[in-house]
Amino acid sequence: MAIFLRETQAFGVTPVHFAALQTVASQPGIDQRSLARTVGLDTSTITGVIDRLESRGLLVRSASPEDRRIRQLTPTDAAIQLLAAIAPSTLSAQKLFLDPLSEDEQAEFTRMLRKLVTKNNDLSRAPSDLGRE
């Protein structure tokens, strides 16, 4: 987290904000509950994240035409521009984090992390549908 924050500090985005923005940008119209599951947060926490991103003009929250109780999320043009601008910094953070490992070790580390996340998914406060095998 420290590496991510150092590399991206000019953008004022936390790892959670980045994950939420990236998810909404790749799935415009996603509802708040699905976003929470996708990024592994509970619904009350994601509401605060969305509030902050909306106040920065990065997300628009609107009622679903099918069910007005459901809030859909759409990225703004500013969010799309921010994600494009921050991409090199996030890649740099990932590279710095993994640099101490050889290429083979990086692949093994990533494989093992995926396995841990998948196998412990049901123990999460916000289990993801994506992590199920």
65 vs 25, higher pLDDT: 25
pTM (whole model) above 0.85: no
> Could you tell me the sign of the dihedral formed by the alpha carbons of 116, 118, 119, 123, in that order?
positive
User: Inter-axis angle of helices 32-39 and 15-26, to 10 degrees?
Assistant: 120
Cα angle, residue 72 at apex, residues 5 and 13 outer, rounded to 5°: 10
Q: 53: how many CB neighbours lie within 10 A of its CB?
A: 24
Residue 8 burial by Cβ neighbours in a 10 Å radius (0-12, 13-18, 19+): buried
Cα dihedral value 130, 35, 72, 86, nearest 10? -110
Residue 45 pLDDT more than 80? Answer: yes
Rounded-to-integer distance, Cα 72 and Cα 63, Å = 6
Give me the pLDDT at residue 131, please: 45
Phi, psi torsion values for 74, nearest 5 degrees: -135, 135
**Tokens at 115, concatenated:** 């396995």
Banded model confidence at residue 127, pLDDT cuts 50, 70, 90: low
**Tokens at 131, concatenated:** 């992590």
Residue 66 pLDDT more than 90? Answer: no
9 and 89 in contact (C-beta within 8 Å)? no
